[in-house]
Structure 1
Amino acid sequence: MKICNPTHFLVTLTFLYSAAQCIEPTSAGADTAGTEWQAGVARVDITPEEPLWLGGYAARTKPAEGTLHPLWAKALSLKDSAGNQAVLVTTDILGYPRDVAERIRARIEQEYGLPRANLILSASHTHSAPVIGASLKCIYAFDASGEQKLTDYTEQFEDKVTALVGEALAKMAPASLESGNGTARFAVNRRSNKEGALTATSPLQGPNDHAVPVLKVMRTDGAVAAIIFGYACHATVLDGYQWSGDYPGFAQAALEAQYPTATALFFAGCGADQNPLPRRSVALARQYGVTLAAAVACVLEGTMTPLPPTLITGYKEVDLALESVPDEAALRQRAESTSGYEQRCTEDLLARVTREGSLPASYPYPVQTWQMGGQTLVVLGGEVVVDYALAIKERLGQNAFIMAYANDLMAYIPSERVREEGGYEGQGAQIIYGLPSPWADGLQERILSEIWNQAGIK
């Protein structure tokens, strides 16, 4: 392990933050890699042009009132030496509802020939971006006018993401790829540490995943074209009424200021039970963004692993069973005994029973993997707790990249430990996602088994 001081990187920023750590990569990879990769980068501003409801918090009572910094959708296209193409899309949104992701993927496959295994739709999970589609819609109290604005914005968003993929594919040019891992330590396990009880001297309890995975894309002239990086922590520093990418937005802006030729793309890791603490100020969001950017820069300026131009992709949806499925009578009883958003969410389930006759007993959960020249990227849907990252890295190696909040934001995905413990991530949040009960036991084994299968591990 080496320690690097990124202070020189931070001098142009409002906050100085030193002592980021770099971990030298030890994962498998070729000693040398040519420039047989093709890569393209594109971006589009997705900031709403009118006030819309912000996603993520049930306590908000009105639409957005301004912009702290723009919201972006960004895309990286890749082609290996055999001609296999894939595109990663990262977005400053809460998440992709299944219906929105399905429409985008269908259009992209029709227009550009990319199958779903070769397309990742990643969300930063910022809670300062507009509501998209029907995601968590029952927790918001907007009226019919707000609902129409939501529909209009969602259609515009789908158009922009589809066109963005085409632009990234059209911009492909020779490139090289390198990977590495760093460390940032502002994520705190919110189940093990109660926010209101913490002080500057409080001993923090885990588990956590403080890794900062970094993928560098370089042009043949040596310029950095793209910086892809991740972190396993909720983007919930801010809870106000301004559009913002939260700390990931500040991190991307800081990296793009330091590397003017590069586009920075952030992805969220398994941070469903991780919060940035303390929080609730723009100054803290900026501080955490600068801290994360410093950790990324430390990796970029160190020794990284060159990745040979081979791309292998996999995708499968596995059925995750629900613990129970209430009938209409049970739902009516629940609706009568609750209030507020819990009542609205239950009424939505009742309406679905009326339309469809019953509620499904399981959910098709997306599991995806990319192998980029020896660098493994595991891509999971939903709000995944950190236990999954620890289990995956124990099996696939500490340098595996793990992305959550991708392709479908359907619910929290607890480990068996968290499911049995209960609480918000284990059980309580199901209703706001339109699921009538907690997950049945066995979900962790089903998800991990599919990851091992795609990774070729028995």
Structure 2
Amino acid sequence: MSFEAAVGEVDITPVHPPYPSLWMGGYGWSPRGNHGAVARRLRAQCLVLWDGGTPKVLLRADLVSIPRDVNQQIRTTLVSEGLVAAEDLMLLASHTHSGPLFGDTRPSPQVMMGLTQADVDAVNGTTSMITELMVQLVRDTVAEQRTAVTLSYAEGQAKIGYNRVAGTGAVLDTVPVLRLKKTGGALFAVVFGAACHPVSRGNDDVFDGEFPEVAAKLVENALGVPALFVQGACGDQEANDPHSPATTEQLGTALGQEVLDVLAGPGFSTVTGPVATALTEVSLPFHTDTTDPAVRAAVLHKYEIRRRVLPKTDPNRRHADLMVKSINAGTLPTSIPMPIQRWRFGGLSILALAHEPLSTYHVRLRAEFAGKLWVMGYANECEGYVADNDTLRSGGNLHFGYEAGWNKSDPTIAAEGSYCISYAWPGPLKFSDTAVPAAGTTERIVMDASLGLLSS
């Protein structure tokens, strides 16, 4: 079956003026801002596929993450305008750590970098400007002239990272490639992916689309068509060391060359319509049941102690201040919402997981699903890590508990320096102390929902 397609893009690199904020996201625990240096422009790209006259919209951006409120704003706006159905809109962040701080909720600018309210107001101004550019990009791309295309899919391999959590855990080297060709046979566009944290540049003050942008530009310059990068389940996948601008070039070139090699090869299989889309949302409970007043009082006591012993300049103290305030106000969250999205083509299924999923989900979902499966991460919204049960129950025994969210044999509160601190959550997600995760725990919830979508 033939599709119709259009591709658009817009530059979203903040420049002051008119952007009020050049604060950067991706690293804690002190203020980090851009001063005008740009290695590679940041961009948002939109691919619209018309399937039987119905648009499916993939909107990806060179951002570290998209918070929940921004996802909802973009989705509500475009759905209310009648441009796309909610399940037919997929938002994807590249997770570059060399882009702007985006939004004021998760991660928390106050906790992560100690920003003042004036700084946060500026961050929100930049966020609003980029959000409007992304919304307008969809409007413009939907209105573009359509080109009849056929789709095909293949996979390559590129080893550009390692597993930072387990050391000997899964290392994802799959390079998915979706090829769009015009009816006459000429290439129209390429969508490709990898699963690796875009931290290869390191913690400096330069805006950079990172190794995904190096790879995309290499493909675009070689073939003369748009290339769109999407991120995989890379919560525990770290870019190869040393982190430096030279490493960014090296890894991006290796990834881009692999995409070119795949495109030049014979390994593609046909991808057809119609496309069956679905979007669901699960709630991931915390390990500590903060709906129980007695439990909540115990958590409050521990955070009050942390407040007393840590200096005000410590981000863990800032987090404790926020937790105490939330508990006293009755606004402490009891779970993390997680959207999960499926686009099923003939010959390919795409599963888009919100947040920062660890590689285990990629491995286990592909093992349990019989067809060709592309697992994407950082989809629609990103507000924390989603670890597998083994990582969660190991706590501080793996990578200091950063991805698990707890250590020191205390899963009732957030570990100092863990993702729960910057993302402003009270503690780790629920796990079971068994090899097979129990019903109602994080891994079971995510796997059951994902496999249910894939099989429905």
Q: TM-score, normalised by structure 1?
A: 0.86
Contact 1:84–1:311 (8 Å) recurs in 2: no
Instruction: Name the residue aligned to 1:249.
Output: 213
Match of 2:307 among 310, 326, 335: 335
What SS does the corresponding residue of 1:390 show, helix, strand or coil?
helix
Match of 1:45 among 11, 18, 23: 11
Letter in 1 for 2:89: L
Letter in 2 for 1:44: V
Question: After the TM superposition, which of the residue ranges 321-330 and 413-422 deviates more from structure 2?
Answer: 321-330
Distance 1:231 1:255, change over 3 A: same
Rounded Cα–Cα distance in structure 1 between residues aligned with 2:157 and 2:451:
26
Match of 2:257 among 284, 294, 314: 294
Kindly provide the CA deviation profile for residues 82-104 of structure 1, in whole angstroms up to 9, marking residues without a partner as x: x3321111110100000111111
Match of 1:129 among 90, 99, 103: 99
Instruction: Name the residue aligned to 1:63.
Output: 33
Rounded Cα–Cα distance in structure 2 between residues aligned with 1:444 and 1:62:
34
Identity %: 27
Contact 2:92–2:378 (8 Å) recurs in 1: yes
Shift of 1:173: 2.5
Instruction: Name the residue aligned to 2:410.
Output: none
Shift of 1:106: 0.5
What SS does the corresponding residue of 2:69 show, helix, strand or coil?
helix
Instruction: Name the residue aligned to 1:347.
Output: 321
Match of 1:380 among 325, 346, 353: 353
Contact 2:32–2:113 (8 Å) recurs in 1: no
Rounded Cα–Cα distance in structure 2 between residues aligned with 1:396 and 1:298:
27
Rounded Cα–Cα distance in structure 1 between residues aligned with 2:132 and 2:25:
20
Rounded Cα–Cα distance in structure 1 between residues aligned with 2:213 and 2:309:
41
Instruction: Name the residue aligned to 1:27.
Output: none
What SS does the corresponding residue of 1:44 show, helix, strand or coil?
strand
Rounded Cα–Cα distance in structure 2 between residues aligned with 1:214 and 1:346:
44
Contact 1:64–1:241 (8 Å) recurs in 2: yes
Instruction: Name the residue aligned to 1:438.
Output: 428
Match of 1:236 among 199, 202, 220: 199
Contact 2:278–2:343 (8 Å) recurs in 1: yes
Contact 2:348–2:371 (8 Å) recurs in 1: no
Rounded Cα–Cα distance in structure 1 between residues aligned with 2:346 and 2:46:
20
Match of 1:182 among 156, 167, 177: 156
Kindly provide the CA deviation profile for residues 381-423 of structure 1, in whole angstroms up to 9, marking residues without a partner as x: 1111101000011012474101001111111100001111111
Structure 2 residue 134 is matched with structure 1 residue 161: yes
Contact 2:5–2:47 (8 Å) recurs in 1: yes
Distance 1:259 1:222, change over 3 A: same
Letter in 2 for 1:395: E
Contact 1:112–1:166 (8 Å) recurs in 2: no
Q: How many residues align?
A: 409
Contact 2:28–2:422 (8 Å) recurs in 1: no
Instruction: Name the residue aligned to 2:236.
Output: 273
Contact 2:44–2:62 (8 Å) recurs in 1: yes
Rounded Cα–Cα distance in structure 2 between residues aligned with 1:360 and 1:59:
23
Shift of 1:144: 3.7
Shift of 1:354: 4.6
Distance 1:411 1:94, change over 3 A: same
Greater RCO, 1 or 2 (C-alpha within 8 Å, sep 6+): 1
Letter in 2 for 1:235: P
Rounded Cα–Cα distance in structure 2 between residues aligned with 1:87 and 1:230:
17
Instruction: Name the residue aligned to 2:363.
Output: 390
Rounded Cα–Cα distance in structure 2 between residues aligned with 1:157 and 1:351:
31
Shift of 1:62: 3.6
Letter in 2 for 1:410: E
Distance 1:290 1:397, change over 3 A: farther
Shift of 1:279: 2.8
Shift of 1:250: 0.8
| Structure 2 residues not aligned, in runs of 5+ | 291-295, 396-400, 406-417, 432-440
Rounded Cα–Cα distance in structure 2 between residues aligned with 1:397 and 1:336:
54
Rounded Cα–Cα distance in structure 2 between residues aligned with 1:301 and 1:167:
32
What SS does the corresponding residue of 1:426 show, helix, strand or coil?
coil
What SS does the corresponding residue of 2:344 show, helix, strand or coil?
strand
Rounded Cα–Cα distance in structure 2 between residues aligned with 1:60 and 1:228:
35
Rounded Cα–Cα distance in structure 1 between residues aligned with 2:212 and 2:115:
27
Distance 1:353 1:115, change over 3 A: farther
Rounded Cα–Cα distance in structure 2 between residues aligned with 1:258 and 1:91:
22
Shift of 1:142: 2.9
Instruction: Name the residue aligned to 1:408.
Output: 381
Q: TM-score, normalised by structure 2?
A: 0.86
Rounded Cα–Cα distance in structure 2 between residues aligned with 1:272 and 1:47:
25
Instruction: Name the residue aligned to 1:452.
Output: 451
Question: After the TM superposition, which of the residue ranges 396-405 and 370-379 deviates more from structure 2?
Answer: 396-405
